[in-house]
Chain A
Amino acid sequence: MISRSDVEHVAALARLGLTDDEIDRLVPQLSRILEAVGKLSAVDTSSVGPTAQVIALENVMRDDEPRPSMSREAALAEAPMREGGLLRVPVVLEEGR
């Protein structure tokens, strides 16, 4: 039902590094789980819409006014890499790449 390449594809979409052993275990497990959850396809839902959340809420708006927020020092304190009051990240776009 689900192949090794499916798992590799989905893992890449999820930015999740998996070892060969992990993929070996996941293929049969996910096949069984998908088979079990796939039985929903037999349920007649032609007359109902999807429910994303159960409480009837409307969008909540507030005025767009500045207010106190987390300090820069606190926001950066846990970052693995930082530089000059900023988060440091690996290069995303570089010339010739």
Chain B
Amino acid sequence: MPATLPLADRTIAEVAELLRRREVSSRDLVEACLARIARDGERLNTFLAIAGERALASADAADAALKAGEGAKKPLLGIPYALKDIFVTRALDDDGRPNSGLPTTAGSRILEGYRCAYASDAEERLGNAGAVLLGKTNLDEFAMGSSNENSAFGPVHNPWDESLVPGGSSGGSAAAVASGQAFFATGTDTGGSIRQPASLSGIVGFKPTYGRVSRYGMVAFASSLDQCGPLARSVPDAAAVLQALAGYDPRDSTSVDLPVPDYAAALTGDVQGLRLGVPREYFVAGMEPGVEAAVRAAIGFLEGLGAEIVEVSLPSTDHGLATYYIITPAEASANLARYDGIRYGPSAGSDDLLENYLRTRGSGFGPEVKRRIILGTYALSAGYYDAYYVKAQQVRTLIKAEFDSVLATVDAVLAPTSPTVAFKIGAKTDDPLLMYLNDACTLPVNIAGLPGISVPCGLSDGLPVGFQVIGRAFDEPTVLRVADAYQRASGFADLRPPTAYD
């Protein structure tokens, strides 16, 4: 590994310091990312829309602002980033005419070419923090998937090995950040969609507590679990992005009006005296030995740093998958009813209303989305509602109560992120249940609404492995503190794929 990484592969903290010292400009950073996008973007299929000219113009404005001394007020001033293409971006002016904003597809044909009339809270907040939008990343259609193979616009390839998936559903965001095409990206996480691709791509991915970050302008999948968060190359970078994203938003009725702590202040590097729980149920059959070894080594490492490691039990973990695959399709089937071919998006153009719905939706949604709409509609239909949906919501109560009880005795929980490293494109596409198992270790965290971060902890068979730190609701500081202390001392902070070297 070279002593100094190329500009495009460094952390936000490093390049922000270079910006502050005026050794590089925001334009340099945008050009470095655009060069990587030109080199690897199409091959890895990371972006669905790129705003090159607009990003360069924003970079020049950021450089002028930096010169005027506005850097202190805008912590991400001049830093190029990407939005997962499930965050709407304002692409229409008030008069209804297209502007220079980017379209939003959610990875689906049913929104192909869709130009939104308003901005997501994430686009607004990151813009206010000075970050420069490069483009919008590929994803599983409506964020339904664990491999990015469900995108209507083709799979994303893993920068560590192009024959492999990058994970999903935020696969484009993960691959872009891992391969130097953006310094950070947003993701959404309903059952692991930030943490699992971060793990499989060798970067950091942080799902905050449900309610911590606004969901306004995030195309809805399962509204009681969806949460926005950052994918970045280091824990301090993830903390800086979360700082910009977090906060109350009256436009999201489940946004929580609590003060936002100073996340950077939590990064003390010290875990002495912290009690960290390791749930025995997370080391499951089917977990790859190399993954388990790397995660166990990370736990041992944290013990070496002075944390107290205790075994804990979350007995309902095994029911997480079933609970998730009832609740999320049910919520999705309701959320996706809005795609009617009338107000926006492609339409079959039939004169008969029912025929128009059937044909518009039948041709607009892909196979996984259809599977989940049918499953969710079934679980909510007369005669099955109590047996499936209400039952799953009751088990949700049990899963949450177990986490609450464990987290009353420990400061955070440590667990694997994914049972495997990145797998071959096509390896699991014929078997939905096999694919769903990818999220067995991440989705209980969404069911309970807790914050969880995935941090790289080494390689297995030459591919990245991540582990999770899961915390109490709204205790993002402790989660970040543990993850950062590990990353600083572990020697895996500079983990980069082979593509990182020009």
Contacts and interface: CB of A to CB of B under 8 A. Distances in A.
Nearest to A55: B211
Instruction: Name which of A14, A40, A57 has the most chain B CB atoms within 10 A of its CB.
Output: A14
B117 interface: yes
A11 B96 CA distance: 35
B118 A70 contact: yes
Given A53-B224, A90-B353, A18 B370 contact: yes
Given A50-B390, A55-B449, A76 B374 contact: no
A48 B375 contact: no
Contacts of A22: 367, 370
Given A41-B387, A60-B253, A30 B378 contact: yes
Chain A interface bracket (under 10, 10 to 19, 20 to 34, 35 or more): 35 or more
Contacts of A5: none
A53 B254 contact: yes
A71 B210 CA distance: 31
Interface majority SS on A: helix, strand, loop or mixed? loop
Contacts of A14: 333, 337, 361, 373-374, 377
A41 to B, nearest CB: 7
A54 B347 contact: no
A40 B395 contact: yes
Give the interface size class of chain B: 35 or more
B361 A16 contact: yes
Given A48-B401, A55-B449, A55-B473, A80 B341 contact: yes
A24 to B, nearest CB: 13
Contacts of A70: 117-118
B362 A92 contact: no
B481 interface: no
Contacts of A18: 362, 370
B14 interface: no
Contacts of B448: 54
Given A40-B319, A80-B349, A71 B94 contact: yes
Contacts of A30: 371, 374-375, 378
Nearest to A46: B394
Contact of A29 (B344, B353, B432): B432
B274 interface: no
Interface in B17-64: none
A74 B392 contact: no
A15 B361 CA distance: 7
A54 B100 CA distance: 39
A86 B210 CA distance: 37
A84 interface: no
A66 B449 CA distance: 34
Contact of A15 (B254, B256, B354): B354
Contacts of B211: 55, 57
22 contacts: A14-B337, A16-B362, A16-B365, A26-B374, A30-B375, A32-B433, A33-B433, A37-B321, A40-B391, A50-B390, A50-B396, A54-B473, A55-B254, A55-B473, A57-B254, A62-B250, A74-B117, A76-B96, A77-B117, A78-B114, A81-B349, A90-B356
Given A40-B323, A49-B397, A87-B342, 4 more contacts: A53-B449, A55-B210, A74-B96, A91-B353
Pick the 8 closest A-B CB pairs, nearest first: A17-B362, A54-B449, A50-B393, A73-B96, A17-B358, A80-B347, A78-B344, A77-B96
